[in-house]
Structure formats: structure tokens, C-alpha cells
Structure 1
Amino acid sequence: MKVTFLLWLILVVVYDVRMRRAPNWLVLAGAVFALGALALGAGPLGHDWRAALLGGGAGFGFLLLFYATGLMGAGDVKFAGALGLWVGVSALAPIWIIASLLASIHGVLWLSLKRWPFFPRLALFLAGPSRSSEPDVPSRRVRVVPYAAYLALAAAVWMVWGRQGS
């Protein structure tokens, strides 16, 4: 199941970096596979149902506060809930810290490049795709920081290196 988990994380990273969204079908697939792995006793991090359900609830509930204030997209919140099912409640804090550090670096770098455009292509990459709902309306950025991607990267780092002492 570790391979399934890592493949799901890779898909989330690629999709969120390219499109700046975590689609419902991808989040739901991750949640279903996490529940299946738990039912088979084959979760990648070896936790039980209680830890998984607490992780899913904590992941969703905590980031829901950021969504309610307009600081985060709904896909990020749903992804955090599905991720919590995979990693359990105890791994969420280090994953959030790593992801938040990566997202902060992304934001600061983007703001710096926006102000001092030394590398315009990097600034455009960091800003993400522009979207326009109508042809005559100027395009707008959906969101700059792909937080679900950073959560996924942090989870992969945690899975590989963070459990060394466990």
C-alpha cells in the first residue's frame, strides 16, 4: 500500500501544481484507498482505525478554519482530510509544519519575484495558471500557493524520513 499512497501523493502534487486545485475525484480516490488499506490492515504507516479517523477529522477540521477565512481552497481542506486517513493523527503536525514552511517559501519567493522581476518565468510558474470565466474579462489567478501539493510532498518526506525514529 505504500506504493499506492506514494502514487496518490504524486498525482496530487502534479495536478495541484499544474492546475492549482485538488479535484474531488482525486481526493475521493485517496480516501477510498486509505479506508481499503485500513480494512486490509495494510496502511502504509501502520496505525489503527481510531488514529485514521481522528487524522481525517483533524485534517479536515483544522484546515476548514482557513477555508472559512478565505485563506485556503476547498480542495486543500478535503485533501487534508483524506491525507489524515492515510497518516493518522500523530503525523499531521509534522506534515503541516513541513508543508507550511514550503508554502511560505513559495509565497515569499513569488512576492519577491513579483516585486523584482529578475526571473519572470519562475514568477509566472509560482503564480500558477491564469483563468478567465469570460473571454472579455481579464484573467485572474485562482490561487498562488498549491497547498495540497505541499501537504503531499511533506507527507512523502514524513513517510520516508520522518519515521526513522519510530
Structure 2
Amino acid sequence: MKAAATVCMLWLIAVAVYDFRERRVPNWLVLAGAALALAALGFGNNPFDSGWRSSLAGAVVGFGFLLLFYATRLMGAGDVKFAGALGLWVGLSALLPIWIGASLMAGAHSVLWLALKRWPFYPRLVLMLAGPSRTSESDAPTRRPRIIPYAAYLALATAAWMVWGRQS
């Protein structure tokens, strides 16, 4: 595995862990990933073998497409920014299979959460799937709860794509 691939994988793991635990992706983590992707591109060491044009298009499409979901309040801003930084790493051609994989995982998360919420056989699992409670925040009544850690699922789908998806 190339050094850039290892760096990308560590970044993906950090994003997934942070998003699963906090249901948010901090700006410093997104910016670090974008800077590392730009450095990998600059040194010609991109683990996804995407060039500048594909990577920049991936960033624009990744950010722009998920921005529609943010505008309708269906997704958090961290997910949108992460998708833009992820596009820099993977390029335009890898975004569709990664989005499909992440969306399937997020859909399974939703179905499991709804089923367990309705039939609470495992109440601790419902709490884990729902994420941390944010009742102490002053803006809690105006914000929608973030049940689905979509950036984490994007990161997991990307990691799977790195390991299995690019093989011929």
C-alpha cells in the first residue's frame, strides 16, 4: 500500500470514528483531509490514480450534490464538506459506487433504527444508533437530530472501495 493510501485510510478511519461518536465532522478534520489530498495530487501519489481534473470535478460534484440535501435540512454541513474533500481523494469516477455503498449502509441504519425504535427489544442499540443526546445545547430545539452518520458511511464505503472495488 502506498504511503498516500495509508494516510487516506487513516483519515477515513478518523472521520468514521468521529462521526459515529459525535454525529458531526469537525472542520479541522475535513480541511486536513483536503490538504492531504492536494498534497498527494501535487506529488503525483494519489492512491486512486485520479488526476487534477478528475479530483477537482469530484470535489465540486461531491460538495454540490450533497449541498442540495443540506439545503433541505436532510443532511448536516459536515457531511457536505466531507464529501467535497473526499472527491479530491477519489476523483469523479469513484464517487457513484461510493455513494451507492454509503447510501445502502445509511438506509440499513435507518431501517434498523426505526424497527428497533418501534419494537424496543434492544433499547441500548436504539440509543447507539440514534447517536449522542444534544439536549444541553442552546440551539437544540431548532436543530433536527442527526440520526444517520452519513460521513462515516461515506468513509466506510471509500475504505471498502480502496480495498476491493478497484480490483480488476
3-state SS, counterpart of residue 93 of structure 2: coil
Query: For residues 27-59 of structure 1, what are the alpha-carbon distances to aligned partners after superposition, in whole Å with 9 as ceiling and x for unaligned?
Result: 000000000000000011111000000000000
Indicate whether 1:49 and 2:52 are aligned: yes
Q: Distance in 2 between matches of 1:129 and 1:44?
A: 34
Which of 131, 151, 167 is the equivalent residue of 1:148? 151
Of 2, 12, 21, which residue of structure 1 is paired with 2:5?
2
| Aligned position for 2:37 | 34
Give the Cα–Cα distance (whole angstroms) in 2 for the partners of residues 142 and 71 of structure 1: 10
| 1:90 counterpart SS class | helix
Alignment of structure 1 residues 104-119 onto 2, 5 Å: 104-119=107-122
Q: Which runs of 5+ in 2 are unaligned?
A: none
Query: Superposition pairs for residues 76-95 of structure 1, below 5 Å?
Result: 76-95=79-98
Aligned residue number for residue 70 of structure 2? 67
Alignment RMSD (CA, Å): 1.5
TM-score by length of 1: 0.95
Superposed structure 1 runs of 4+ greater than 4 Å apart: none
What are the Cα deviations for residues 97-146 of structure 1, in whole angstroms up to 9, with x where unaligned?
A: 000000000011001100000001111000000012459x89x8731000
Is the CA contact (8 Å cut-off) linking 1:20 and 1:142 kept in structure 2?
A: no
SS at match of 1:52: helix
The TM-score normalised by the length of structure 2 is 0.93
